[in-house]
Copies of this chain bind each other. A is one copy, B any other.
Amino acid sequence: MFGSPPEGEIWSGDDAAVVAAPAGRMLFTIDTLIEEIDFDLAYAKPEDVGWKAVAVNVSDIAAMGGRPAHAVTALWLPSSTSLVAAEGISRGVAECCKAFSVSNVGGDVSTASQIGIAVAMTGGAHVEPVRRSGARPGDLLGVTGQLGGAAAGLAALQAGRGADFPDAVRRQLRPQPRADEGGALAGAGVTAMVDISDGLASDLGHLTEASGTGCDVDVHALPVDPSVGAVAEVVGRAVLDMAVIGGEDFELLFAVPPDRLDAVQDALSGTQTPVSIIGRFTDAETGIAGRSLKEWKERGWEHLRAR
């Protein structure tokens, strides 16, 4: 399912995998999905769970400007879990690894009271890694793609209306991390970057706190996912809530000095991925539509609280 190792490498089946190390500096991250907290098999297929567990790590590597290389996977399952479900999760891991040229080189399966999966991933840092802390007042705030689609997909699924909103559902269940865009943005000279996993309000807070800046966001400039309006109407929620505090879009949020904006747009022109400039870093407070990030976040997606 996970392919064969190249000459000189050893993948699963021994005490540890042996792989070619990335040259120079290496990126290294881990992320976990837990049943009932991060996914619900009432609406996610096992394959979706496996896909997403890999995708969130690809997104973290991309947000540093890197390219993913190798993954190891820990899966834990109640003993009542069907073999079909267990294999489905692994198949989703394999699909996402293939889609983003990651080699899954090892794993571990345990028994637990609840399904969960942790994926650890290494990546190569071909350009200088981009931290969260490099934004300066005057830099522009940019974002790839569209916002709110993943939250809309979740809301549609939870309302039993997933079949009516396939694009939004796909954004929720099969996120497409910006693997190529991260390196392109890093090469074009962005000064800070984060992926949007917790939601715009939370992740912008990560950038401004690490950078010691504020930021003014122009709410009218937000690239709202085209699915969001219709879903919001059906489920009775505000469009802006989905775009600002809905998480899991896995778009890249970055700071770019105005004189490098052309370079950013050139760098992304090959990817067909739109970039929107949605604000400007300042030395004052951070606000979105006149409300502080704290106000947004208190209403927002909480990683540590069950859905």
Interface centre among A26, A64, A66, A106 (most CB of B within 10 A): A26
Is A31 at the interface (CB under 8 A from chain B)? yes
A87 at the interface (CB under 8 A from B): no
Interface size class of A (residues with CB under 8 A): 35 or more
Q: Which residues of A from 168 to 193 have beta carbons under 8 Å from B?
A: 193
- The reply to whether B129 and A18 form a contact with Cβ atoms under 8 Å apart is yes
Q: Does A139 lie at the interface of the complex (its beta carbon under 8 Å from any beta carbon of B)?
A: no
Could you tell me the distance between the alpha carbons of A59 and B234 in the complex, rounded to whole angstroms? 54
Q: Which residue of B lies closest to A193 (CB)?
A: B15
Q: Does A73 touch B at the CB level, under 8 Å? A: yes
Which residues of B have CB within 8 Å of A63? 15-16
Which B residues are CB-close (under 8 A) to A167? none
Q: Is the Cβ of B131 less than 8 Å from the Cβ of A195?
A: no
How many copies of this chain? 2
- A108 engages B31 (CB within 8 Å): yes
A278 contacts partner chain B, Cβ-Cβ < 8 Å:
no
Residue of B nearest to A197 (CB): B15
Q: Would you call A25 and B37 a contact (CB within 8 A)? A: no
Judge if A74 is at the interface, Cβ distance under 8 Å.
yes
Q: Are A34 and B66 in contact (CB under 8 A)?
A: no
Q: Which residues of B contact A26 (CB under 8 A)?
A: 18-21, 122
| B28 pairs with A70, CB closer than 8 A | yes
A interface residues, Cβ below 8 angstroms from B: 8-10, 13-32, 34, 36-38, 59-61, 63-64, 66, 70, 72-74, 76, 79, 105-114, 116, 118, 120-123, 125, 129, 131-133, 193-195, 210, 303-306
